[in-house]
Structure 1
Amino acid sequence: MTEDRPEELTEYSLSALMAAPPAPEEPADFDDFWHATFAEFGTGAVPWRRTRELDATATHHVSEVHFDSSAGEQAVAYLLVPHAPSSARRGLVVGHGYGGRSGPDLDRVPADTAAIFPCAPGTHAGTPSRFPSPPDEHVLAGIAHRDTYSHRFAAADIWRAATVLLEIAPSASDTLDFSGGSFGGGIGAMALPWDARFRRAVLDVPSFGDHGVRLTRPCTGSGEAVRLHLRAHPQVRPVLGYYDAASAARRVRIPTLVSAAVLDPAVDPRGQFAVYHALAGPRRLSVRAAGHLDGATGLLSDRLALQDGIDFLALPDERLA
């Protein structure tokens, strides 16, 4: 992290990580809170408009769209729709890491798929937001109360992005999937239980899993800002109980692939595996050598995880048994 404080590269044994931990403590009204949040932000029409056409690919029209965010501002998303929209057999909502995004990941989207890549509130450079964009600030924005925390609106905008996508490509309504990594993986876990439109999910090195464990260890990711903040403001710890990806995963019943790393300086591997162990439905595990790591090993791990996710979403239903 600095010359006098090297990166925390603790590597856990796979056998230890495969032992399911106790479920995180959670608020008694966890379900009520999230059902109410979905009722407020996840239902009904979502106004949107195309703001810019981007270079098309051989298979898709590509555009930038703005839609009404749950945060009361304009959200940015990138949209890929097959040249013949009615030919879209599958839909895909793609979350992003805490680095944000400035465009779509074209290699994630098969020819038969309509996809939307929403930017979480505050994470799109140049777009006005009440949330700050730096990860160490965004992860603390609104943390004083469960209703104002930035992660509530990030999860809600996953639902709203799905609404926009299905308005454009209704033929994909029965085959809507989610894929997200790191920040997007943790936010996806929080969003998925409450929205019955999703068919499958891929969560790659998901963050925010098992805060009770996650906050015990220094890291290079946004968790470090939270850990240090709680030292000065311990009264906000109960808020995190509503935003634990492992608690939310206990309610995820759709087939889900988790790619979890045994070594990760940014997202504690124990939290990643906690998300996998908590899943209530059909689940698959892809073990990564490393997550959030620069260099050849990190790049190879990223590429393998990406392909695992693409393959999982493309599997015929009968192969999931």
Structure 2
Amino acid sequence: MAGFPHSFPFDPSYGYTLESLLRVEAPVAPEDFADFWQARYRRALAVAPEPRLQPWPEHREGYAVYDLEYRSTDDFTLGGWLLMPQGRPVRRGLVVGHGYGGRDAPDFDLPVADAVLLFPCFRGLSRSRRPPISDQPYWHVLHDIDQRDRYILGGCVEDLWLAVSVLTGLFPAIAGHIGYMGISFGGGIGALALPWDARIRRAHLSVPTFGHHPLRLELPTVGSGCAIRDYQRRHGNVMDTLRYYDAASAATQVDVPVQVAAALFDPAVAPPGQFAIYNALAGPKSLYVLEAGHFDYPAKARQESELREVLADFFAEL
């Protein structure tokens, strides 16, 4: 059982062992779960993203870097970055999602060669802030949670699909060679998006959230799950919406290769929810077990280095 000295008023391993985590099943999805998401996907693909690129003021060796804006659903303008490799051909593309802390800049050290990289900021966060959506995780995750069809997470999934549309529009030759990488919030959004978009051919999800909402409501955390637990205590109707936004339920529909990094100890994203997503994946999958997530621990640098090597091999097949 994972365990580290900590000051949290709860056990971030929740009493689970690796063996018991690997037995966590996805909750039963609504009968119209697939219909709900397929209809959203069709509507999203009808949107022309109209990307606008401006050279980024900072030079980075090996990349041409651009500030990016594009249009998503609900006429939402999203900001982000596009990195195009210089001096080598573009053979693949990768959309890179961020955690609930947002993103201040793109990553320049991802282990994916010959790839154009698109870093979107999901609606309401970082470069895509827009009132009245709060950029604070506690409030962002509650935005329109009482309206199933308008809940903020659905819009964020559509933002990801439109990012793929940007890549295929700007670089038609990489169609069939597009992947996704997302951590925490971005991992959960990725799991929700993957089943319905055949343009995404493989994905990496790191400590993904939004898995098994019924369990999340039982387990204390310091992350977005805390906000949802508080909302449920006040209103009692949160599952009317969340049963349609369960990343573990979505994972049962995923048939492309997925690499998951899931943690045994995590105060922000309870491990049973992470493993529920991995366990439910219906297609080829691989697991890298982190000792902890959202937490500093002695082996963190070593595990991050090992995971980089895993991902280099994984995305080499993209």
Distance 1:265 1:297, change over 3 A: farther
The match for 2:20 is 16
C-alpha separation between the residues in 2 aligned to 1:189 and 1:156?
12
Indicate the SS of the match to 2:109. helix
Q: Residues 155 and 187 of structure 1 are in contact (CA less than 8 Å); yes or no, is this contact kept in structure 2?
A: yes
Q: Which amino acid aligns with 1:12?
A: Y
> Residues 195-234 of structure 1, C-alpha deviation per residue, up to 9 Å, x if partnerless?
1101111011110101111211100111111011111111
Q: Residues 100 and 123 of structure 1 are in contact (CA less than 8 Å); yes or no, is this contact kept in structure 2?
A: yes
Indicate the SS of the match to 2:79. strand
The match for 1:107 is 109
- Greater length-normalized contact order (CA 8 Å, ≥ 6 residues apart): 2
Q: Residues 292 and 298 of structure 1 are in contact (CA less than 8 Å); yes or no, is this contact kept in structure 2?
A: no
Moved more, 264-273 or 297-306: 297-306
Show the 5 A alignment for 1:122-133.
122-124=124-126, 127-133=129-135
The match for 1:46 is 49
State whether structure 2 residue 314 is matched by structure 1 residue 312.
Answer: yes
C-alpha separation between the residues in 1 aligned to 2:126 and 2:155?
14
Which 5+ residue runs of structure 2 have no aligned equivalent? 1-5
State whether structure 2 residue 186 is matched by structure 1 residue 184.
Answer: yes
So what's the TM-score if we normalise by structure 1?
0.91
**RMSD (Å) for aligned C-alpha atoms:** 2.1
Q: Residues 91 and 114 of structure 2 are in contact (CA less than 8 Å); yes or no, is this contact kept in structure 1?
A: yes
Moved more, 190-199 or 21-30: 21-30
Show the 5 A alignment for 1:51-90.
51-83=54-86, 87-90=89-92
Show the 5 A alignment for 1:205-224.
205-224=207-226
Q: Residues 261 and 288 of structure 1 are in contact (CA less than 8 Å); yes or no, is this contact kept in structure 2?
A: yes
Q: Which amino acid aligns with 2:139?
A: E
The match for 2:138 is 136
C-alpha separation between the residues in 2 aligned to 1:303 and 1:64?
29
Show the 5 A alignment for 1:280-295.
280-295=282-297
Give how far 1:167 is off: 1.8
Indicate the SS of the match to 1:242. coil
Q: Residues 265 and 293 of structure 2 are in contact (CA less than 8 Å); yes or no, is this contact kept in structure 1?
A: yes
Distance 1:278 1:304, change over 3 A: same
Indicate the SS of the match to 2:237. helix
The match for 1:266 is 268
C-alpha separation between the residues in 1 aligned to 2:11 and 2:55?
42
C-alpha separation between the residues in 2 aligned to 1:126 and 1:90?
25
Indicate the SS of the match to 2:244. helix
State whether structure 2 residue 25 is matched by structure 1 residue 26.
Answer: no
So what's the TM-score if we normalise by structure 2?
0.92
State whether structure 2 residue 251 is matched by structure 1 residue 249.
Answer: yes
Candidates 133, 144, 155, aligned match of 1:153: 155
C-alpha separation between the residues in 2 aligned to 1:282 and 1:180?
18
The match for 2:3 is none
Q: Residues 121 and 128 of structure 2 are in contact (CA less than 8 Å); yes or no, is this contact kept in structure 1?
A: no
> Residues 72-94 of structure 1, C-alpha deviation per residue, up to 9 Å, x if partnerless?
22101110112368x21111001
Q: Percent identity?
A: 42
State whether structure 2 residue 39 is matched by structure 1 residue 36.
Answer: yes
